[in-house]
Amino acid sequence: MIEINGDRLLADLRALSRIGARDGGGISRTAFSAEDILARRWYRDRCQEAGLKLTFDGLGNMTAHHPDDEGRTPAVWSGSHIDTVPNGGPLDGAYGTLAALECLRRITEEGLPLARPVRALVFTDEEGNYGHLFGSYGLVNGYRAEDLAGMVGRDGDRLIDTWQDFPFRSEQPITPLDPATVAGFIELHIEQGPKLELAGLDIGVVSSIVGLGGGRMEFRGRADHAGTTPMPLRADALQAAADFLTTLPQLAAKVSDAAVATCGILRLSPDAANVVPERAVCTLDLREPSRAGIVALHAAVETTAREVAERHGVDVVWEPDQIIDPTPMDAGKQQAIRDACDAHGFSRQDMPSGAGHDSQNLATITPTGMIFVPSHEGRSHCPVEYTDPEQLVRGANVLLTTLLSLAS
CA–CA separation, 15 vs 102, rounded Å? 14
3-class DSSP state of 247: coil
- Does position 93 interact with Mn ion (CB under 5 A)? The reply is yes
Query: x-or-dash pattern for Mn ion, window 151-170, by CB under 5 A?
Result: --------------------
69 binds, among Mn ion, ligand HGY, none (CB under 5 to 8 A by kind): none
Q: Is the dihedral of CA 344, 349, 350, 351 positive or negative?
A: negative
Of 138, 356, 367, 374, the one binding ligand HGY by CB under 6 A: 356
Binding string, residues 336-355; x marks residues near ligand HGY by CB under 6 A = -------------------x
Cα(138)–Cα(314) distance, integer angstroms: 37
330 binds ligand HGY (CB under 6 A): no
Whether residue 83 contacts residue 124, with contact meaning beta carbons closer than 8 Å, is answered with yes
Q: Where are the alpha helices (DSSP H) in 18-155?
A: 34-49, 94-110, 134-141, 145-149
Query: Measured from the CB atom, is 131 or 356 closer to ligand HGY?
Result: 356
Q: Closest by alpha carbon to 178, among 366, 406, 370?
A: 366
CA 112/CA 408 separation, integer angstroms: 10
> Taking CB under 5 A as the rule, does residue 92 contact Mn ion?
yes
Residue 125 within binding range of Mn ion, rule CB under 5 A:
no
Binding mask 116-145 for ligand HGY (x = CB under 6 A): ----------xxx-----------------
395 binds ligand HGY (CB under 6 A): no
* Residue 134 or 168 having the CB closest to ligand HGY: 134
- Considering the complex, what minimum distance in angstroms separates the CB of residue 127 from Mn ion? 5
Grouping H, G, I as helix, E, B as strand and the rest as coil, residue 362 is helix
Least distance CB 224 / Mn ion (angstroms): 40
Query: Vertex 359, ends 361 and 79: CA angle to 5°?
Result: 120
Binding site for Mn ion (CB under 5 A): 92-93
Binding site for ligand HGY (CB under 6 A): 126-128, 355-356
